[in-house]
Amino acid sequence: MPRASRRWLVDTVFFALAEFAAILLLANSESAQDSWLDRASKNSMAAIGGWAESTRDYFTLRRQNDSLSRENMELSIRLRTLEEARLRDSVFAPGDRASGMGLYADDSVFRYIPATIVKVSRNSQRNYVVVNKGRADGVLPNSGIISTKGVVGIIESVDEHYSYGISLMNNKMRVSARIGRLGVAAPLEWDGRSSSSAVIKELPRHLELHPGDTVLTSGWSGIFPADIPLGVIGQEREVDGSVKEAEVRLFTDFAALRYVSIVENRHRDSIR
Contact status, residue 183 vs residue 175, Cβ threshold 8 Å: no
Positions of the chain with pLDDT lower than 70, given as ranges? 1-107, 271-272
List all residues 6 or more positions away from 187 whose beta carbon is below 8 Å from its beta carbon.
Answer: 174, 175, 176, 177, 200, 201, 202
Burial 135-162 (b: 16+ CB within 10 A, else e): eebebeeebbbbbbbbbbbbbbebeeeb
Q: What pTM was estimated for this model as a whole?
A: 0.65
**pLDDT (0 to 100) of residue 99:** 34
User: Contact 246/203 with Cβ under 8 angstroms?
Assistant: yes
pLDDT of the residue at 36: 53
Collect all residues with Cβ–Cβ distance below 8 Å to 125 and sequence separation of at least 6. Answer: 170, 171, 192
Three-state SS sequence of the chain? CCHHHHHHHHHHHHHHHHHHHHHHHHHHCHHHHHHHHHHHHHHHHHHHHHHHHHHHHHHHHHHHHHHHHHHHHHHHHHHHHHHHHHHHHHHCCHHHHHCCCCCCCCCCCEEEEEEEEEEECCCCCEEEEEECCCHHHCCCCCCEEEECCEEEEEEEEECCCCEEEEEEEECCCCEEEEECCCCCEEEEEECCCCCCEEEEEEEECCCCCCCCCEEEECCCCCCCCCCCEEEEEEEEEEECCCEEEEEEEECCCCCCCCEEEEEEECCHHHHC
Any idea which fold 175-250 has? Thrombin, subunit H (2.40.10)
Nearest to 147 by CA among 264, 263, 265, 259: 259
The ranges assigned to domains in the chain are 3-58, 109-171+255-271, 175-250
Give residue 81's pLDDT: 60
pLDDT value of residue 155: 96
Q: At what angle do helices 3-28 and 30-91 cross, to 10 degrees?
A: 80
Look at residue 240 in the predicted model and tell me its pLDDT: 82
Domains 109-171+255-271 and 175-250 fall in the same CATH topology: yes
Task: Note the pLDDT of residue 265.
Answer: 87
pLDDT reported for residue 219: 87
Q: pLDDT tens across 167-221, in order?
A: 999 999 999 999 987 788 999 999 998 889 999 999 998 888 899 999 999 988 8
Neighbouring-strand partners of residue 166:
128, 154
CATH class of 109-171+255-271: mainly beta
pLDDT at site 249: 95
In whole angstroms, what is the distance from residue 90 CA to residue 84 CA?
10
8 Å CB contact between 185 and 201:
no
CA distance 161 to 182: 39
